[in-house]
Structure 1
Amino acid sequence: MSTPVYFISGIDTGIGKTYTTGYLAKLWNEQGQKTITQKLVQTGNVDISEDIQQHREIMQSGWLAEDDSKLTMPEIFSYPASPHLATKIDGREIDFYKISAATISLTEKYDVVLLEGAGGLMVPLTDTLLTIDYLVDKKFPIILVSSGRLGSINHTLLSLEALKNRGLELYALAYNLNDESQDELISKDTSDYLKNYLALHFPQAQWIDIPKIESQQLRKIPR
């Protein structure tokens, strides 16, 4: 697979993975890299992935043929919960072959694929398989989303330690400026600390600031 597939994970739920994924896709498309996004597993939806919808709104790309064919959202479960629970409620298992086949199909048409996960690295996909286990098998480089909120240093370092212990590549730490602490001192110190930690322990990894977005920048798209 010559086309790079970057896996977008976060230090916890609600950190801004979906916005980060859409923002990076928009940025890289504008820079001349034909980029598409995919959702590993979507929960809490029926038929259409709301995360893919938000990606397209941010990218201002319109609904894509790959969205209509479900290549970008191969597995959707109705209950808004961790995948291992959502699958039990819907009464069917995740089809990992279908997900992998969809990813491969996207790599044949695009220069870059951004694959957004559900929650963080240790989120269970099944009773025996964690998200990080899937990544070890696929060996995708990781873009980890963090922020300046209070407590994010601990969650970020635990996530980075997990990546190191599993031998996974950290491509970049995406610092979500939409999720800063209300205390500017905490926000600045968090940013400074994480930059220094990255330079010491993951010197090959990039630091990417994810800028603030105004709500009026997003628009509903037809599908």
Structure 2
Amino acid sequence: METVVWARSDASAQRAREKLGGATEVLTDLPEIARRSTVVVEAVAEDAAVKGELLARIHQDLPSGALLATTTSSLSVTELAQASGRPERFAGLHVFNPVEKMDLIELAFPDATGEEVREEFHALCQALGKTAVEVPDVPGFVVNRLLFPFAFEAVRLAEETGLEPKAIDSCMKLGAAHPLGPLALLDLVGLDVAVAIGESIDAEVPARVRQMVDEGKLGRKSGAGFYEYP
């Protein structure tokens, strides 16, 4: 399966090429990528306006039979599908971090997507070596709707008891067979993204998490969160 990655600038394209190596083509010309594609998966910031604008741009140059998807983890797939201009060939395709270890893809569809297109998306997930499960188009789908209240409770537990993040994470990894503990997971997702997801599912976001975001401690991507990163 040929894969092409879009980068917003020459500088970001160069960084992506260095990270991905020569196996994946990285381009900055979005219309060219769209014209060449049979499937496009959008993965920009978790912001409805940003995603909607980009999806509409992609749709303009995408072949009529091509599939279009978003990786949103909390926004309305139906609303993004309408913004894209291609609701009948659209899906929410939610993958999980770390992607190389996590088998699941949550597939959420707008009502306009027919059975044949749904089958095409299931086949795509299978080709990617993943297991697809259709989920309702509700905030947080299934996993995030259950996971983030749990992760936020881990933050509150740390505050109430003084337990170190490593102790809480070790308990959940060894006692519940989680691949990552809840606090390490928040760092991986990004604390700013965690706040956005929490708000979208009406979960109570701990004040400590909001404070860390205000301080620029966003997790791995900023070098500091519940843990320090080199």
TM-score (norm 1): 0.31
Q: Which has the larger radius of gyration?
A: 2
Q: Which has the higher contact order (CA 8 A, sep 6+)?
A: 1
* Structure ranking higher in strand proportion: 1
TM-score (norm 2): 0.30
* Structure ranking higher in helix proportion: 2
